[in-house]
């Protein structure tokens, strides 16, 4: 495991056009751990992740690597060798092949004047294999389905080969198989390669299953952080989401499970 993996946002204040949307939020992404950010729409998850990826400048607070190095001091290329973000939406280039888009991930590893990225071809092939896009390598990305494209962008991030991987709703658009494979991949990257993974997930049960730690955001504040058992509490979730959420234990796995209760359920619970 690389000891330099990991990233800490401390007391981050973030806003748009003077409107504060994240208020003194701290988030510690540990090496070899998956940290899930959960919370309602608009609670600030993407903004916080984007700030950690240096795509949103903080009004206050710090972003540091283990050992105290200031993430904001690095050049863009140095930073991109350490941290990557799979964002919710990226502009899709026209007529560019899947293999070439995945190759974009190697940009931080290439010098300006010559192609000296010896690990590049292996990293690109590996990233395409684990995301299941090898069979579409020569296709143009603008001809792919939403889920196929999501996997290509994930492959691009993996090819970047960073110690910190930030993923904003990576399972969106994906069918069940690829949702589960991406969760498995996150665990593998953390467990076998020591990567610090920070991931925004809406599915609380997926978060409980994959994450070592969960941060629950509520109106721009981190309401709770800890293990899934510590954070996924019925009272806190019900208050945060504004809907009754029951919490239990999955008898098959022993994992904490959550069940939002909607009126539609009365159709099956009353007869
Ligand atoms: N580009 C922007 N300009 C102005 N306000 C923005 C912008 N992006 C997000 N916001 C606002 O910032 C707040 C936090 O948004 P953010 O996208 O971080 O929330 P989120 O928790 O990721 O939400 P979701 O679950 O819907 O993706 C929201 O009130 C949102 O409307």
Q: In this structure, is residue 259 part of a structural domain?
A: no
Confidence of residue 104 (pLDDT cuts 50, 70, 90): very high
* pLDDT, average across residues 130-138: 93
Residue listed under structure tokens 């070439």:
100
- The domain total for the chain is 1
Find out whether 187 and 210 touch, Cβ atoms under 8 Å: yes
Q: With a 6 A CB cut-off, is 120 part of the ligand 1 pocket?
A: no
H/E stretch holding 183 = helix 176-193
Rg (CA), the chain: 19
Inter-CA distances, 231 with 138, 141, 195, 208, 240, Å: 44, 39, 23, 10, 12
Q: With a 6 A CB cut-off, is 50 part of the ligand 1 pocket?
A: no
The β-bridge relationship of strands 7-16 and 60-64 is antiparallel
Instruction: Report the CATH number at residue 140.
Output: 3.40.50.300
**pTM check: above 0.90:** yes
* pLDDT, average across residues 35-44: 98
Q: In this structure, is residue 61 part of a structural domain?
A: yes
Residue listed under structure tokens 């504004």:
242
Whether the pLDDT of residue 2 is over 80: the answer is no
What's the pLDDT at 3? 55
Give the integer Cα–Cα distance in Å for 220 and 179. Answer: 27
Confidence of residue 22 (pLDDT cuts 50, 70, 90): very high
Query: Ligand 1 mean position to 110 CA, how many Å?
Result: 34
Paired with 257 in beta bridges are 248
What's the pLDDT at 154? 92
What's the pLDDT at 146? 86
* Closest residue CA from atom 5 of ligand 1: 16
Confidence of residue 269 (pLDDT cuts 50, 70, 90): low
Tell me what the pLDDT averaged over the chain comes to: 92
Q: With a 6 A CB cut-off, is 47 part of the ligand 1 pocket?
A: yes
Q: In this structure, is residue 195 part of a structural domain?
A: yes
Query: Which of ligand 1's atoms lies nearest the C-alpha of 217?
Result: 21
Query: Which of ligand 1's atoms lies nearest the C-alpha of 17?
Result: 4
Helix (H, G, I), strand (E, B) or coil at 131: coil
Whether the pLDDT of residue 196 is over 70: the answer is yes
What's the pLDDT at 193? 87
ipTM at complex level: 0.98
Q: In this structure, is residue 264 part of a structural domain?
A: no
Weakest-pLDDT range from 32-41, 147-156, 159-168, 199-208: 147-156
For residue 184, which phi and psi values (nearest 5 degrees)?
Answer: -60, -40
Q: In this structure, is residue 258 part of a structural domain?
A: no
The β-bridge relationship of strands 245-249 and 256-260 is antiparallel
Q: Note the pLDDT tens digit of each residue in 146-184.
A: 889 989 999 999 999 999 999 999 998 888 988 998 899
Q: In this structure, is residue 266 part of a structural domain?
A: no
Residue 86, domain extent: 7-242
Q: In this structure, is residue 271 part of a structural domain?
A: no
How many other C-beta atoms lie within 10 A of the C-beta of residue 83? 26
Dihedral (Cα; 202, 207, 211, 216), 10-degree rounding: 60
Inter-CA distances, 132 with 95, 119, 148, 256, Å: 20, 20, 9, 30
* pLDDT, average across residues 232-247: 96
What is the share, in percent, of the chain residues with pLDDT greater than 70?
96
Query: Ligand 1 mean position to 15 CA, how many Å?
Result: 9
């Amino acid at each position: 495991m690389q000891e330099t993996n990991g990233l800490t946002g401390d007391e981050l204040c973030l806003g748009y056009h003077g409107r504060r949307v994240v208020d003194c939020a701290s988030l510690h992404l540990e090496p070899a751990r998956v940290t899930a950010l959960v919370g309602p729409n608009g609670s600030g998850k993407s903004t916080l992740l984007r700030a950690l990826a240096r795509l949103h400048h903080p009004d206050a607070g710090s972003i540091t690597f283990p050992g105290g190095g200031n993430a904001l001091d690095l050049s863009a290329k140095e930073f991109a060798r350490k941290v990557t973000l799979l964002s919710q939406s990226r502009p899709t280039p026209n007529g560019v092949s899947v293999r070439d888009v995945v190759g974009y991930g190697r940009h931080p590893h290439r010098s300006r004047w010559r192609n000296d990225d010896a690990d590049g071809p292996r990293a690109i092939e590996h990233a395409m294999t684990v995301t299941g896009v090898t069979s579409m390598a020569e296709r143009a990305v603008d001809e792919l389905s939403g889920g196929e494209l999501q996997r290509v962008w994930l492959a691009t991030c993996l090819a970047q080969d960073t110690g910190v991987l930030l993923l904003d709703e990576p399972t969106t658009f994906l069918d069940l198989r690829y949702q589960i494979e991406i969760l498995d991949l996150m665990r593998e990257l953390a467990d076998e390669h020591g990567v610090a993974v920070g991931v925004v997930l809406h599915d609380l049960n997926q978060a409980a299953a994959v994450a070592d730690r969960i941060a629950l955001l509520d109106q721009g504040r981190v309401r709770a952080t800890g293990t899934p058992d510590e954070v996924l509490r019925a009272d806190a979730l019900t208050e945060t989401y504004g809907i009754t959420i029951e919490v239990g234990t999955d008898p098959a796995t022993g994992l904490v499970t959550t069940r939002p209760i909607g009126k539609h359920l009365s159709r099956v619970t009353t007869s």
